[in-house]
Amino acid sequence: MVVIYMNSNIIISLSSIAISLYFYIGSSNFPSGSSDGVPSVSFFPRIVSIVIIILSLVLLISEFKTKRNYFKLSEEKKENLLPFILTIIIIGVCLVLWLYIPFIPIMFLMLFSLSLVYKQKLLNAVIYSSTLSILIYYIFNKIFNVVLNL
């Protein structure tokens, strides 16, 4: 039976290879170089992508040889796994809904649901979410001049 050891270095190296391939392929749409030997604008992204792919492959091979597994969860970490996953889901859903719902209601919804995930009292969650939503809107809209739909 073949056991595949997954750790953070393997995940990072595979992600880096995928992102580098994306940028390498994307740079093929750039204009070609001039006839006098000057490299085109795609030269630098391709070189960087190739270097990242090579270094990621070295990291990937070295991690497969060491056979370390970092994902053994202790009981304390298992308790935090559900709130962590729910936090990622809530933030992702709110980012998608932000296209359709104005800023303050979506920020309130996100902060309120995160407060409930982390077991705050209901009254504290409402006060915290509404105050912070309005404060964030004011800071970004009035101080940083970022236009946010109300």
What is the rounded CA–CA span in Å between residue 144 and residue 141? 6
* Residue 40 Rama label (left phi>0; alpha psi -120 to 50; beta): beta
Q: Quote the pLDDT of residue 1.
A: 46
Q: Tell me the C-alpha distance between 89 and 133, whole Å.
A: 19
Low-confidence residues of the chain: pLDDT under 70: 1-6, 33-34, 37, 67-76, 150
pLDDT at 71: 61
Domain boundaries of the chain, sorted by first residue: 8-66, 75-143
Answer yes or no: are the C-beta atoms of 140 and 148 closer than 8 Å. Answer: yes
